[in-house]
Amino acid sequence: MLPIVDVLEHVLKLKHRFRIWLCPTAAFTSIPLHPAHPFQTKADRSEKELCLEDLYIYSYTPTLSALIRFRQLMKKRRILRSLTIRISS
């Protein structure tokens, strides 16, 4: 996964915690991608092992058309957000 992270950071300039959508195709549809970690940041293993989910938020979509439909639906939806905090003494 380290080469993928290198492209995400240095070529695409994505910041950490950015959401990434994975859409596996061909042979990759039949294998689990989430165990594709951890990777080492240094060959001598002197730093903490990281994995893709430590750096980015990733989700799966079965098809690109499903992702497009979902994103269009989310644009139309009006999301009301509220936060209520009650502190009792």
- Residue 72's pLDDT is 87
- Residue 48's pLDDT is 65
Give the 3-state secondary structure of residue 59.
strand
The count of other CB atoms within 10 Å of the CB of residue 11 is 8
What pTM, to 2 d.p., does this model score? 0.58
**Average pLDDT per consecutive 10 residues, the chain (89 residues; last block may be shorter):** 78 86 84 63 64 81 89 77 65
- Residue 65's pLDDT is 92
How many whole angstroms separate alpha carbon 50 and alpha carbon 39?
Answer: 6
- Residue 42's pLDDT is 60
